[in-house]
Structure 1
Amino acid sequence: MENTIKYILAILIITGYACNNNSKTGPQLADTSVSDTLITAKIDTIFVDTVAKTPEIKEETEISFADSIDFKKYEVGPQERIENAPIDWSSYPEARDFRTRITEAYKDSDVNFGGHYVISIFGCGASCIMGFMVDVRDGKIYDLPLGEENSCLFAEDRALGNATSRLFIAGVCKENLEAKQVYYKAYLWDEDKKEFEKIEAAAFLKKT
């Protein structure tokens, strides 16, 4: 009988110890679970705040000055496509200094100015561009009205032309950076004289 009582007491002691031990473990696991949830919530909150505070990026509207220019007024009409004649370097000996640029632009290129010409344009320093055009019919070279004389410090657009028009816009310029108005450095190709002549904006700007 005494042994039985000792056995029962032993079981009760072991059971009580186990319960106490489990009660300590339970809250620890629960705390870990809560802690993980809070971390996730904090990360989500930071992500949402970042997105909300990101400034909206607005696309800038580009102004196409070519749209206001009446190239068709000086149209030469469609021309029959012919094979480009060899470049006649003797027609403009000074152009040999830019032989590579002119040759690369001219080689197998389609006419891109005045019905018969392929133009080549390249930089010549700060706010400066220059170029030549080659007649596909005989390969003769002509100077474009560019360079320092026709450059502008505040250029909105430069070297505007058309494959079927004799009108060439060397520059669309402003007096200063804040100016709202623009002025044009424009020329008209005279096919008979084989030269460019200045033309005023009133003659080629479309009526609004």
Structure 2
Amino acid sequence: MTRTKGFVFAAMVTIATQAPVQAADSFDFSEHRVDRVFQGKLRLPDFKKRDKDFGFFKTRITNEMREGVTFAGEYSVVQFGCGTGCTNVVVANNRTGQLYDFPRGGEFNQALTLGFQLNSSLMLARWYTDSLWETCVIEAFVFEEGKWIAKEALAGKGEEICEGDVAAGATNARGF
């Protein structure tokens, strides 16, 4: 390597290593923005074929979809009870009619509470880990191309973390 090339290379490495690295905030809705909001004609699920596994919840899903888009620019979030402290979640695409399971819910994620926004693909989930509802977990998921990507999880105790707004609970759990 010539002396000039070596100097340029060393200078580039020095600049690259001194540049500030800023990680995306897994719990920040604005870090996961979607550019468009679907405003076309609603397309309902195919409960006879593709979405037949969700047929038992047809009325609930259909009614929620008719309320309009609530998540990630083209989805409706449908949460329904399955017993004491138990809920299930389905995410419905208002443009295509396709339904997606959410990775949390049921009896093992007690008192599941969600945080989401119309213009963001981020979904926050908070649930209790114990039967006394003292310790909660707050998780960040990003929904991309029909798949849930787990980003980060926090555990905590107390009203300031485990009650109220899920995003505020995440901020409190991290001490921000």
TM-score range relative to shorter protein:
0.5 to 0.7
Report how far residue 142 of structure 1 moved.
1.1
| Distance in 1 (alpha carbons) for counterparts of 2:107 and 2:96 | 28
- Aligned partner of 1:197 among 113, 135, 149: 149
> In the alignment, what sits opposite 1:163?
118
Higher strand content, 1 or 2: 2
| Distance in 2 (alpha carbons) for counterparts of 1:186 and 1:134 | 19
- Which stretches in structure 2 are left out of the alignment for 5+ residues? 1-26, 155-166
* 2:56 maps to amino acid: D
When Rg is computed on C-alpha atoms for both structures, the one with the higher figure is 1
* 1:74 maps to amino acid: H
TM value normalised by structure 1: 0.54
**Distance change in 2, residues 1:169/1:149 (3 Å):** farther
**Distance change in 2, residues 1:124/1:186 (3 Å):** farther
**Distance change in 2, residues 1:78/1:150 (3 Å):** farther
Contact kept, 8 Å, 1:150 with 1:171, in 2: the verdict is no
Q: SS of the residue aligned with 2:83?
A: coil
Alignment of 1:100-115 (within 5 A): 100-107=59-66, 109-115=67-73
TM value normalised by structure 2: 0.63
> In the alignment, what sits opposite 1:85?
43
| Distance in 2 (alpha carbons) for counterparts of 1:178 and 1:136 | 37
> Deviation string for 1:146-184 (max 9, x for gaps)?
3226613xx5x60211111111122254665556xx531
* 1:169 maps to amino acid: L
After TM superposition, the runs of 4+ consecutive aligned structure 1 residues lying more than 6 A away are none
Higher helix content, 1 or 2: 1
Give the CA RMSD over aligned residues.
2.8
- Aligned partner of 1:96 among 28, 50, 55: 55
* 1:188 maps to amino acid: V
Q: SS of the residue aligned with 1:185?
A: strand
Question: Is it true that 1:188 corresponds to 2:115 in the alignment?
Answer: no
Report how far residue 70 of structure 1 moved.
1.2
- Which stretches in structure 1 are left out of the alignment for 5+ residues? 1-68
Aligned residues: 132
Q: SS of the residue aligned with 1:72?
A: helix
Contact kept, 8 Å, 1:124 with 1:147, in 2: the verdict is no
Contact kept, 8 Å, 1:132 with 1:143, in 2: the verdict is yes
> Deviation string for 1:64-84 (max 9, x for gaps)?
xxxxx4111111123241121
